[in-house]
A and B are shown apart, each in its own frame.
Chain A
Amino acid sequence: MKRDHLESVGGRGIGGYAPAAPGMTGTGKGKMMGLDEEADGGIDELLAAFGYNVRSSDMADVAEKLEQLEMAMVGSHLASDTVHYNPSDLSNWLESMLSELSAPPPELPQAIHPNSSRYNLPQAPASAHSSTAFFDPADALTTTESSTVTSVDFPAQPPPVVFPDFAARQSGSGGNRVVYGSEPQIDSGTRDRKRMKTSSSSSSSRGGSGGGVIVQSSPTIGSLLAPASGTEVSSALPVVMVDTQEVGIRLVHALMACAEAVHQENFKVADVLVRQITVLASSQGGAMRKVAGYFAEALARKIYRLHPQQDCSLDSAFSDILQMHFYESCPYLKFAHFTANQAILEAFAGCRRVHVIDFSMKQGMQWPALMQALALRPGGPPSFRLTGIGPPQPDNTDALQQVGWKLAQLADTIHVDFEYRGFVANSLADLEPFMLETLSPASGGSAEPEVVAINSVFELHRLLARPGALEKVLATIRAVKPRIVTVVEQEANHNAGPFMERFTEALHYYSTMFDSLEGGAGAAGEAQQDQLMSEVYLGRQICNVVACEGSERTERHETLTQWRTRMAGTGFEPVHIGSNAFKQASMLLALFAGGDGYRVEEKEGCLTLGWHTRPLIATSAWRVAGATDSSSASAAADAH
């Protein structure tokens, strides 16, 4: 009956499933899969997309042979110099493989077809089976076969990817692959459960599979699968031999699949996968393990709908502490501060009264350096006014005021005329222009007018969580008429519409970030603690990007290009950050031990700091478009 079923479906092609097929009797699983494509003349369209030529009529045979092969590989030993005939001709290849196996293939109870299972939504048990079978790390059968198929595919042609966005990310490399196929239409039943049981029990002993295919690839998460030239299948012995590269690849596969499952609200599957991920991750080391851990946690939060994501009462103080550690252990924040300060310093050249409005006051670590530079500039320091804006503190301590006191003390020692004002605001959108303007009204005529600079480090992206907030803030900024606006933001697009796009982008971004933290690892105890806290800091961001939605998701990073468009569209024009900032930034990076990977780049007047080839944060400077020098503007105004 099974064969009939398959043949009838195969015969009419994949596409013709939607109406109740008259040829199928009583199976109830008439709809085979969620395929929409029309069947091509004879050739199975879906597999053809992967480079396999399989005739629809042969599908049943191919299916059965694949199963036989799979079963045979369990106990057999394929020679490493097995010759594989044209793999795209799947039927013949299977025959050749089977003919080389000595053991006769055992009779299979069901037509389970893991590798040609389409990873699909509807029937939960069936799809649970298919995904488990695919991603089961310990089950050597699946591993060998899936790995075999994966590696065989490559020499043929670059495989199409499930998620086109992800493929775009993987441009150039072999590409990640989540295997498609036809869903098993047979009632899974006991065999599934048996498989799942064996998998879970043998997971501890088998670890990352005895052998599997040796696919040459680099161990970092970002680049997956450079295609292997040949295929090697060693015996699936129950040896705990963890091939970390392969496990790493499977880890990423698992992450992607879990994200997809969560996105499609297939929570049973996702749950299983999350556990897989934690098992796989534990066998990895270093950055990959940590990133996988944080992403798994974020996915788990999403699955179990843990709200609120973080304990809000501890939030701001705790995140300040974390950010301090992040400041110390890696150069990103220092880079941000130094480049922004340089831009502000250059904008303030020649002014006697300056006012800086800081949207991201936190501990005020940016300002000592600016004050020192102002104190030492030729002509002496100006009178410096600082307005700091911060979130409300849970225990009603006035953190902003304390920071202000410290800065005032420092300013006193270096003889800079200093004034400070702190603003507590839940959101930057609550600010009004009149709050930020000069307090002393009348002296504006006699004394020199104040020159304003606005500074925002990793703050503007939070406003994207609420519609209209950013526009209001930009309007407020424009109303204050600043000489310069410095914006530092993460260089990543974590605000795209589709969840999968966001997930993959975040996976790449944070993998690179964690890699860079790893690279700068000092052995000292305090440095290790700093690194750990920095990772927690990033982990919270990961949680927010992956697990939150709507107004809770405040980590809505956007790329420099997007910010540029946005700023230009709301009446700002770019200011080029000079070469002094570039030199200072480069020198700063040269000081970080293990920091050979850091790169400062200049992109159309903006500076980006990245790890190897991937830019991670970007500093840009802006001014109100059409604004001329304040003195000439006021002169022009006087003339009228």
Chain B
Amino acid sequence: MGEEEKHKVEQEKPCSYNINDNADLLAEILARLDGRSLCAAACVCRLWGAVSRKDAVWEALCNRHVSSSATDSSFPGTRTVVAALGGYRRLYRRCVGPIFDRLAASGDHGPQSSAVAAAAAARLSLSLFSIDCYERLSVGGRQRPSSLLFLGSAVDVT
């Protein structure tokens, strides 16, 4: 009797809680993923897609690329600026992702300089992002903003 009850209870327990019921928790979890996994997660179902598109998730991802000792990217004021420029998801897709991928591919400098390098990369990402945003503002100018073409981001994830 005890075993059967326990077994029943155990069987019931996993069913009583579904991660999909708690979007904030899901967001917290997804915020710990890397870029590619996050994009994959966005394809799972509509809820996951919606949660993955939250800018806060991408913000966490971007901030994680910059070490905790860095100043710029984790500033509170940054959120408004980045949001105004187009959001963290776009920032990641257009700048942060390609930049950090490229830098990782070109080799590591070492643990100490990587923090400094990461901060510099973050600043650079923001600068490039602002240029990209500026290009998008052009009315009747170039059809497609292309100042970031050199980053070679060929795949459009949105």
Interface residues of A (CB under 8 A from B): 324, 327-329, 331, 338, 341, 364-365, 368-369, 371-373, 375-376, 378, 380, 406-407, 409-410, 413-415, 520, 522, 524, 526-527, 530, 580, 583-584, 587-588, 590-593
Residue of B nearest to A583 (CB): B120
Report chain B residues within 8 Å CB of A527: 149
Chain A nearest CB, measured from B143 CB (Å): 10
In the complex, which residues 105-140 of chain B have their Cβ closer than 8 Å to any Cβ of chain A?
106, 116-117, 120-121, 123-124, 126-131, 133-134, 137-139
A380-B120 CB under 8 A given contacts A368-B130, A406-B134, A406-B138: no
Residues of B near A372 (CB, < 8 A) are 81, 85, 126-127, 129-130
Which A residues are CB-close (under 8 A) to B103?
587, 590-591
Task: Tell me how many residues of B have a C-beta within 8 Å of chain A.
Answer: 39
Name the B residues within 8 Å of A331 (CB-CB). 150
Is the beta-carbon distance between B127 and A369 smaller than 8 angstroms? Answer: yes
| Chain A residues in 8 Å Cβ range of B85 | 372, 413-414
Q: Which one of B117, B129, B133, B150 contacts A591 once the chains associate, using CB atoms below 8 Å?
A: B150
Across the A-B interface, give the 6 residue pairs with the lowest CB-CB distance, nearest first: A372-B130, A369-B127, A368-B134, A413-B84, A368-B130, A414-B81
Residue of B with least CB distance to A593: B152
Write 15 A-B pairs (CB below 8 A) sorted by A numbering.
A324-B142, A328-B146, A365-B131, A368-B133, A373-B127, A376-B75, A414-B80, A414-B84, A520-B150, A522-B152, A583-B117, A587-B121, A590-B103, A591-B98, A591-B99
Interface residues as binary, B72-86 with A (CB distance below 8 Å gives 1, 0 otherwise): 100101101100110
Distance A593 CA – B151 CA, assembled complex (angstroms): 8
Q: Is the CB of A591 within 8 A of B151?
A: yes
Q: How far does the Cβ of A248 sit from chain B's closest Cβ, in whole Å?
A: 29
B147 at the interface (CB under 8 A from A): yes
Residues in chain A near residue B152, CB distance under 8 A = 522, 593
Q: How far is the CA of A371 from the CA of B117 in the complex (A)?
A: 22
Residues in B whose Cβ lies below 8 Å from that of A373: 123, 126-127
Closest residue of B by beta carbon distance from A375: B81
Complex: chain A residue closest to B129, CB-CB: A372
Contact A328 B149 (CB under 8 A): yes
Identify the closest chain A residue to B98 (Cβ): A591
Q: Which of B81, B106, B117 has the most CB of A within 10 A?
A: B81
| Of the residues A338, A526, A580, contact of B127 by C-beta under 8 Å | A338
A486 to chain B, nearest CB (A): 16
Measured between alpha carbons, how far is A546 from B138 in the docked complex, in Å? Answer: 36
What is the bound-complex CA distance between A588 and B91, given in angstroms? Answer: 16
Q: Which residues of A lie under 8 Å from residue B75 when comparing CB positions?
A: 376, 378
The answer for the CA separation of A407 and B124 in the assembled complex, in Å, is: 19
A365-B131, A369-B130, A526-B149 are contacts. A376–B81 as well, Cβ < 8 Å? yes
Q: Is B102 an interface residue (CB 8 A)?
A: yes
Q: Which residue of chain B lies nearest to A408 when distances are taken between CB atoms in the complex?
A: B137
Complex alpha-carbon distance, A240 and B152, angstroms:
40
A524 to B155, CA, bound (A): 13
Q: Name B147's closest neighbour in chain A (CB-CB).
A: A328
Rounded to whole Å, the gap between the CB of A250 and the closest CB of chain B is: 36
Of all chain A residues, the one with the shortest Cβ separation from B84 is: A413
Complex contact B120–A365 (CB within 8 A): no
CA distance A522 to B150 in the complex (A): 9
Give the residues in chain A near B154, CB-CB below 8 Å: 524
Closest Cβ–Cβ distance, residue A252 to chain B (whole Å): 31
Give A414 to B71 CA distance when docked, in angstroms: 19
Which residues does chain A contribute within 8 Å of B134, judged by CB atoms? 364-365, 368, 406-407, 410
- Tell me whether B72 and A415 are in contact (CB under 8 A): no
